[in-house]
């Protein structure tokens, strides 16, 4: 595609760069506004200009958002909810990734009659609107004694993440030479041995993609958290929404922004550190069935 541009630096080229720059500003502006205003005292936000840097820099909004802001009925800040999210995300991501890897392995290297239908049903489960499972899931969590618990949320995220993790590994392992697996089988290696010795060592990239995908989705989930969490299992997104939309008292915008950045931080860090894999996950989830 590079053949189209001749590389000479004329008016057209300049306009092109200008357009690209304008869009970069458009995408960065909300983040900049949040960051800049999270360091301002409230009075300065009210009278001032949202695009300006703070005249008086203060860390108070951050302290407040993290440890003293009123969320729901308690003035705990976002800290306990951040912990809730971590405790929920880590096991959900690990379990769904592990099961997805095994499923992908079976679906590509140990094919059986009807595996196409099995895969089709797993794949289709990725796309359901979650509203369809809210009512029975609430009931089922009650039956299992997991209502309002972090374990309950882990189960929910595990179940509804399995489709994607299976899809990722299945597509990745489909390209892995089956002859290697057959050769190992003839040499007497069993099911798990082949998996741990032959497939797993070359699964690095897809593990990273899957972990990032799952981490981002589960961390950012709001619907399940809002539906199934209790006071001591509320995740970060739900707590942030409670903080921002609480109607009592003065609206402390600077605290809201600090909170929003705190909620965005883990996924942003993951994105900055491993954007390449993040994009690959998005593509795998979107383009290939």
Partner 1 sequence: MKAQLQDWLPRLVLGPSFLLILFFVYGFIAYTGYLSLSDSKMLPSYGFVGLDNYDRLWKLRHWTGSLKNLAIFGGLYIVICSVLGLFLAIMLDQKIRAEGLLRPIYLYPMALSFIVTGTAWKWFLDPGIGLEHTMHQWGWESFEFNWIKSRTHAIYTVVIAAVWQSSGFVMAMFLAGLRGVNADIIRAAEIDGASRVRIYRRIIIPMMRPVFLSAFVVLAHLAIKSYDLVVALTGGGPGKATELPATFMYSYTFSRNLMGIGASSAIIMLIMIFSIIVPYLYAELRSDPKR
Of 40-79, binders to partner 1 (CB under 8 A) are 45-46, 48-51
Candidates 87, 102, 147, 180: give the one binding partner 1 (CB under 8 A): 102
CB under 8 A: which stretch of 25-33, 55-63, 74-82, 143-151 binds partner 1?
Answer: 25-33
CB under 8 A: which stretch of 21-29, 71-79, 143-151, 196-204 binds partner 1?
Answer: 21-29
Candidates 14, 33, 43, 90: give the one binding partner 1 (CB under 8 A): 33
> Interaction with partner 1 in 200-229: which residues (CB under 8 A)?
216, 219-220, 222-223, 226-227
Task: Give CA–CA dist 259/262, Å, rounded.
Answer: 5
User: Which residues lie below 8 Å from residue 141, measured CB to CB, with a gap of 6+?
Assistant: 147, 148, 152, 155, 156, 228
Candidates 87, 99, 180, 184: give the one binding partner 1 (CB under 8 A): 99
Give the total of residues touching partner 1 (CB under 8 A).
Answer: 101
> Interaction with partner 1 in 258-277: which residues (CB under 8 A)?
259-261, 263-264, 267-268, 270-272, 275
CB atoms within 10 A of CB 210: 30
Largest distance between two CA atoms of the chain: 77
Candidates 8, 10, 56, 136: give the one binding partner 1 (CB under 8 A): 136
Candidates 36, 169, 210, 256: give the one binding partner 1 (CB under 8 A): 256
* Minimum separation from the CB atom of position 60 to partner 1 (A): 18
Candidates 83, 191, 197, 273: give the one binding partner 1 (CB under 8 A): 191
- Is 57 or 127 the residue whose CB approaches partner 1 more closely? 127
Encoding tokens for residue 247? 């109607």
Beta bridge partners of 74: 71
Burial class (CB in 10 A: 0-12, 13-18, 19+), 212: buried
CB under 8 A: which stretch of 1-9, 76-84, 86-94, 197-205 binds partner 1?
Answer: 1-9
- Is 180 or 282 the residue whose CB approaches partner 1 more closely? 282
* C-beta separation of 162 from 124 below 8 A: no
Distance of CA 77 to the CA centre of its chain: 22
Task: Give CA–CA dist 161/131, Å, rounded.
Answer: 15
288 touches partner 1 by CB under 8 A: yes
Encoding tokens for residue 37? 């205003």
Task: Give CA–CA dist 11/15, Å, rounded.
Answer: 6
CB under 8 A: which stretch of 56-64, 70-78, 196-204, 239-247 binds partner 1?
Answer: 239-247
Task: Give CA–CA dist 229/242, Å, rounded.
Answer: 13
* C-beta separation of 256 from 243 below 8 A: yes
CB under 8 A: which stretch of 67-75, 86-94, 97-105, 202-210 binds partner 1?
Answer: 97-105
257 touches partner 1 by CB under 8 A: yes
* C-beta separation of 228 from 156 below 8 A: yes
Candidates 58, 68, 151, 171: give the one binding partner 1 (CB under 8 A): 171
* C-beta separation of 153 from 233 below 8 A: yes
152 touches partner 1 by CB under 8 A: no
């Amino acid at each position: 595609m590079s053949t189209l541009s001749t590389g000479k630096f004329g008016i057209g080229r300049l306009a092109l760069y200008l357009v690209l720059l304008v869009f970069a500003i458009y995408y960065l502006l909300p983040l900049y506004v949040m960051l800049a205003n999270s360091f301002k005292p409230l009075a300065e936000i009210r009278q001032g200009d949202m695009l300006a840097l703070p005249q008086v820099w203060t860390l108070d909004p951050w302290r407040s958002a993290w440890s003293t802001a009123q969320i729901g009925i308690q003035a705990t800040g976002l800290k306990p909810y951040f912990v809730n999210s971590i405790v929920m995300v880590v096991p959900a991501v690990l379990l769904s990734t592990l099961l997805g890897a095994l499923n992908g392995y079976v679906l590509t290297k140990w094919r059986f009659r009807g595996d196409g239908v099995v895969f089709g049903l797993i794949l289709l489960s990725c796309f359901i609107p979650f509203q369809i499972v809210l009512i029975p899931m609430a009931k089922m969590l009650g039956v299992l004694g997991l209502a309002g618990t972090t374990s309950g949320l882990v189960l929910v995220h595990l179940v509804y993440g399995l489709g994607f993790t299976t899809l990722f590994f299945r597509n990745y392992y489909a390209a892995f030479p089956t002859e290697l697996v057959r050769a190992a089988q003839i040499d007497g290696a069993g099911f798990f041995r082949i998996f741990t010795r032959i497939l797993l060592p070359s699964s690095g990239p897809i593990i990273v993609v899957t972990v990032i995908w799952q981490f981002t989705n589960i961390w950012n989930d709001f619907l399940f958290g809002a539906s199934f969490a209790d006071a001591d299992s509320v995740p970060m997104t739900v707590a942030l929404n409670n903080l921002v939309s609480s109607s009592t008292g003065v609206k402390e915008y600077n605290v809201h922004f600090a909170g929003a950045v705190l909620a965005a931080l883990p996924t942003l860090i993951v994105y900055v550190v491993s954007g390449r894999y993040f994009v690959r996950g998005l593509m795998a989830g979107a383009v290939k069935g």
